[in-house]
Amino acid sequence: MSEIIRANTVLPAVRAPFTVLTADGLKLIGEVARPIAESKGAILCLHPLPTAGGMMDSHVYRKAANRLPALAGITVVRFNTRGTESDAGRSEGEFDNGVSEQFDIEAMLTYCFDELKLSNLWVVGWSFGTDLALQHAKDPRQQGLILLSPPLRTSTPEQLAYWSSDPRPIIALIPEFDDYLQPAEARERFSVIPHAQIIPVEGTKHLWVGEPSVYRVLSEISSLVAPNSTPLAKEY
C-alpha cells in the first residue's frame, strides 16, 4: 500500500557526511544524498541567512535531500557556510555577510566536480543563498542558477549585470507575497539580465511553508535538472 509523502518523509538514498577545506583554511561540513540508481543530475544548495536561522537543514533543502534522490534521481549536496551550525555540526569561521563566503562557494563547487565527480550540476540558492549564487557561483562547469525567494539584499546592479553576458539559465521563483522582493519588482531588478526567467508563484511567501509550496519548489527544480522525472510523485 502506498503512503502520502509528508513533511517528515525520508525516502531511500545513499547519504554521506563530508568536510571541505576552503582556500583560507576553514573546514566546512555538509552532506551528499545520492540516488541508489544512477544520478540524472545534481544540485548544490546555498542556504538562507544564518543570522536568521538559515542552515543546510532549512526545511526546503532538508526535504529536497529526503525526497529528490528517490523521486527524481537527483543528487543533493548541502553544507553549512562559515560559522553556520545545524544538527550535522558547525562549519568553522564566522559569518561575513556574503563576502568571505566566496571561498565557501568556490571550495564547494570544486569539491562537487573534482571529488564527487558530479555532472549536470545546478546551483540552487534560497534567500541569502541567492546572493551568494549570483555573486560567487561562476564555475564554468555548472549548468545554471535556480533562485528561490531572491531578496537581492547585497547583490549590486553591476554584479547582476555580469550574468547578462553569461548565457547559462537563471530561473528565479518569486513568491507572490514575498517579504522582500515580489514579482513586479523582481522583473524590474532582474531586467539587467535579459535571459533571466522570473516565475511568480501565487499564494506563497518567502519561506515556502507548507507542503504545496515545497512540492512546487521541488517540482520546478526537478523539471530543470531531470526533466523526465516530473511530475513528482506525491505518494511512495
pTM above 0.85, yes or no: yes
Long-range contacts of 12-20 (CB under 8 A, 24+ apart): 12/36, 12/69, 12/70, 13/65, 13/66, 13/69, 13/70, 14/69, 15/65, 17/88, 18/111, 20/79, 20/107, 20/108, 20/111
Calpha distance 61→126 (Å, rounded): 9
Q: Grid coordinates 501565487 are at which residue?
A: 202
Q: Grid coordinates 515556502 are at which residue?
A: 208
- Identify whether the C-beta of residue 7 lies closer than 8 Å to the C-beta of residue 212: no
Alpha helices in 77-193 (DSSP H): 101-110, 128-136, 157-161, 183-189
Which tens digit of pLDDT belongs to each residue from 140-151? 999 999 999 999
All structural domains of the chain: 14-225 (3.40.50.1820)
Which tens digit of pLDDT belongs to each residue from 54-98? 999 999 999 999 999 999 999 999 999 999 999 999 999 999 999
- Per 3-state DSSP, the chain is made up of helix, strand and coil in percentages (nearest 5) of 35, 25, 45
Q: Grid coordinates 508563484 are at which residue?
A: 201
151-187: buried (b, 16+ CB within 10 Å) or exposed (e) per residue?
bbeebeeeebeebeeeeeebbbbbbeebeebebeebe
Which tens digit of pLDDT belongs to each residue from 88-129? 999 999 999 999 999 999 999 999 999 999 999 999 999 999
Calpha distance 28→104 (Å, rounded): 8
